[in-house]
Amino acid sequence: MECQECKKRPATVHFTQVVNGDKKEMHLCEYCAQEMGYMDYHDHNFSFHHLLSGLFNFDSGASLSGNQKEAFHNASVTKCEKCGMTYQEFTRVGKFGCENCYKTFDQHLNPIFRRVHSGNTKHDGKIPKRVGGNLHLKRNLQQYRLQLQNLIEKEEFEEAAKMRDQIRELEKKLSNAEDGES
């Protein structure tokens, strides 16, 4: 594929930008991407490790408040009981030493997940429609039950009653679908 801008060199930089649902793709050579301001790094030895360490690096000085700096410092000195890895070592290496590290550094991982996953901290995965079957119904049922709990806590009983009726309909559908599969 050739560069969309100069139409002389091969496109090596590919951007996809989605703004208000409009998807725009750009395929540029490295020179045009730099001229247009899409790339401003001078070090061409970029690696996956650099990407990860940039995501994990919260010690960026002025951008952090006092509480955030303190939390980062505390994370640096926190050690995994099983393998002895510190959070600072994790940010340098880019991977944990053992499965216990996830529990040890749990409170410090959510900001990283939010940055990597566009604000989400939980990954549910995708279910293909043709094989998902009842999984979609079960997931919807679980979400409705959580919404019902929230409505009850907020004392929005009319909305809660509507949600309860939706849950009953969904349970009926799920029951019928499971009876039909057997």
To the nearest whole percent, how much of the chain has pLDDT over 90? 23
Distance CA 70, CA 104 (A): 17
In this prediction, residues 96-111 reach a mean pLDDT of 84
Query: Which tokens sit at 18?
Result: 């989605």
- Residue recorded with tokens 């944990």: 96
Q: Inform me whether the pLDDT recorded for 32 exceeds 60.
A: yes
Q: Which of 34, 10, 38 is nearest to 24 (CA)?
A: 38
pLDDT value for 63: 44
Q: Which of 139, 121, 120 is nearest to 129 (CA)?
A: 139
Choice between 108 and 68, residue whose per-residue pLDDT is larger: 108
In this prediction, residues 164-182 reach a mean pLDDT of 82
The full 3-state SS of 50-72, as one line of letters, equals HHHHHHHCCCCHHHCCHHHHHHH
The predicted model scores a pTM of 0.35
Confidence of residue 169 (pLDDT cuts 50, 70, 90): very high
Q: Which of 55-69, 123-137, 158-172 has the lowest mean pLDDT?
A: 55-69
**CB distance 7 to 17 below 8 Å:** no
Q: Whole-number mean pLDDT of the chain?
A: 76
What are the extents of the domains in the chain?
A: 1-46, 48-116, 129-181
pLDDT value for 137: 82
pLDDT digits (tens, 9 = 90+) for 14-24: 878 777 778 88
Query: Which tokens sit at 59?
Result: 């010690």
